[in-house]
């Protein structure tokens, strides 16, 4: 789960970076009309899901003894 989260974060960051380099802006493509929510794209979804997966792993599964 940790590696999948990191891969999703990297993929989302690269997707948004490529849009910034090519178009000087990020293309958003999804708008939810039934609720007041921000317009987003696949890279944003990937980043969000990746961060959630990493946080779940750190909070519940990581047995590290550091700080």
Give tens-digit pLDDT for 29-64. Answer: 888 778 787 788 899 999 999 999 999 999 998 877
Residue 20 CA to residue 40 CA, distance in Å, equals 15
In a domain? residue 27: yes
In a domain? residue 35: yes
> What is the span of the domain harbouring residue 42?
2-61
Residue 25 CA to residue 23 CA, distance in Å, equals 5
In a domain? residue 66: no
Q: Give the chain's domain count.
A: 1
In a domain? residue 15: yes
Global model pTM greater than 0.85: no
In a domain? residue 67: no
In a domain? residue 19: yes
In a domain? residue 11: yes
* 25 contacts: CB under 8 Å, gap ≥ 6: 19
Just list the catalytic residues. Answer: 28, 44
């Amino acid at each position: 789960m940790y590696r999948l989260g990191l891969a999703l974060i990297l993929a989302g960051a690269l997707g948004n970076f490529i849009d910034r380099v090519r178009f000087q802006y990020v293309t958003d493509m999804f708008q939810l009309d039934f609720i007041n929510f921000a317009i987003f794209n696949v890279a944003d979804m990937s980043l969000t899901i990746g961060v959630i997966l990493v946080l779940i792993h750190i909070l519940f599964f990581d047995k590290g003894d550091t700080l």
